[in-house]
Amino acid sequence: MQPKVQKQLQRLLPILVLGVLFFWSACSKKPTSVVELFPDLVFDERSQAKQFAVVATGSEPMIDDLEDGDLNGIKADGRNWSWAQFDDMTDGIQYLTIDQEEGGPRQGNVLYVKGGGWQKTGAGVSANLVYKASPRMYGYYDASVFSGIEFWIKAKDLKQLTVSVGTPETTSTNDGGICISSLPGHFEHQATISDEWTHIQIPFSEFLLKNGNKELAVNPAQIKGLHFSFETMNDYEIWLDEIAFYR
């Protein structure tokens, strides 16, 4: 190799190394917000201005133990909500009620869900924790005093449950969130369940929102709701109890 060419390569080598390091750093940078993870999202300014936080003190971790016999969650520590249902908008069917379960964790009332016949993604139930607080749908729950959520569950003909946490940025304006573009989905965790009562405990750090090879953990200070998705095209039965936060 000629000395002149060798010197030119020596000058270029540091520039090339810096370029590679910069590219690697830009591609591997861990996102710190939903906006960084999905930069094309569009938010509604009016809905953003109406958002307000209900801050948990940590004194009442139980979200719902169903012992009151109705579909209203426990009204405590700022929470004010009722169980709601969602589905994939096909011709399936699902209903939920309160049932007595002798083999349950407390030998008492549980949330019972039965459904089937869905053709796309299935259905599920939601606990929108401050949906009934004034000014109604714009509230979100600050559960940062806790480490995660836990519950007991038993299922028939369903082996996996998708548990997700919605935030203002992942929730449409129609449901009290701020997103007016294509929704990125919620922060999800996949739990294995069975036909025996199983205790599930999920730290907030395991509720993840993903985009390609990048992911972001949920911020527990901005919870719009908890969602339990039954993703199956077959018939199913679910028994759910003792939904709570834990430290």
pLDDT digits (tens, 9 = 90+) for 165-213: 999 999 999 999 999 989 999 999 999 999 999 999 999 999 999 999 9
pLDDT in tens, 60-87: 999 999 999 999 999 999 999 999 999 9
Residue pair 222/171 in contact (Cβ under 8 Å)? The answer is no
Angle at 122 between CA 206 and CA 67, to 5 degrees: 70
Query: CA 75 to CA 82: how far, in whole Å?
Result: 10
- pLDDT exceeds cutoff 50 at 24: no
As a whole number of angstroms, the distance between CA 27 and CA 139 comes to 35
Give the torsion sign (CA, 169, 204, 94, 194).
Answer: positive
Answer whether residue 26 shows pLDDT above 50.
Answer: no
For 138-166, what is each residue's pLDDT tens digit?
999 999 999 999 999 999 999 999 999 99
Query: Does residue 223 have a pLDDT over 70?
Result: yes
CATH 2.60.120.430 given to domain 31-246: yes
Q: Which amino acid is present at 37?
A: L
Residue 205 DSSP symbol: G
**Of 210, 227, 208, which is closest to residue 218 (Cα–Cα)?**
208
Q: What is residue 132's predicted lDDT score, i.e. its pLDDT? A: 85
pLDDT digits (tens, 9 = 90+) for 102-140: 777 878 999 999 999 999 999 999 999 999 877 778 999
Q: Per the structure block, which two tokens stand in for 148? A: 């995660």
DSSP single-letter state for residue 43: B
Given this model, what pLDDT does residue 106 score? 75
Q: Read off the tokens for 92.
A: 């399936």
Six token digits for residue 24? 């690697």
Do 197 and 152 touch, CB atoms closer than 8 A? yes
Report the amino acid identity of residue 244: A
Q: Would you list the domain boundaries of the chain?
A: 1-30, 31-246
